[in-house]
Copies of this chain bind each other. A is one copy, B any other.
């Protein structure tokens, strides 16, 4: 019974992700979500108290998946450069496999007023904090240059990756065949490696 009902909750959440990704949170109707999920109108309100709550649940529950996999990377890989590579790889793969989810997490969640609670920001920032920690590790090991704050480094890394993927996802002028996303990833990794490396005296 628990198994079944918990899966229904997930069905609704997954449907909401697809609907929000397509039309945006505010243009999505609760009816659209229930139809997409294949459940009755009122069932949404068995599992969530409101439409707002659905969006915030997506953030809270799905974002943790990202964090958990970052922990895994941290424990499996030791070399900082390799870690950053793995993280970038992971972000790219997340977008490729869950582009709807990423659209929602990037475009809808941060635009929602109820999102701005200290707890949410803490969770939201944990990702960047993690990235900064890996960079600091690299600095301590003498791999990365000292002149850059780990916080700013994390912004550069994530900003570069995020912007690139956003263009792939949203920009209709982008030709995916002429310029495969794998190639973009390689170029970004190379550039970051050189940009962060310790400068010669």
- Residue contact B147 to A155, C-beta cutoff 8 Å: no
Residues of B within 8 A of A167 (CB): 128, 155
Pick from B26, B107, B160: contact of A155, CB under 8 Å: B160
- For A121, the chain B residues whose CB sits under 8 A away are 171-173
Copies in the complex: 4
Instruction: Determine if A159 and B149 form an interchain contact, defined as CB atoms under 8 angstroms apart.
Output: no
A199 touches B194 (CB 8 A): yes
User: Which listed residue, B26, B147, B195, B197, touches A192 by the CB 8 Å rule?
Assistant: B195
Q: Is the CB of B113 within 8 A of A23?
A: yes
What is the distance, in angstroms, from A68's C-beta to the closest C-beta of chain B? 22
Instruction: State whether the Cβ of A40 lies closer than 8 Å to any Cβ in chain B.
Output: no
Nearest 6 CB-CB pairs, A to B?
A195-B195, A159-B163, A26-B26, A159-B159, A156-B160, A159-B160
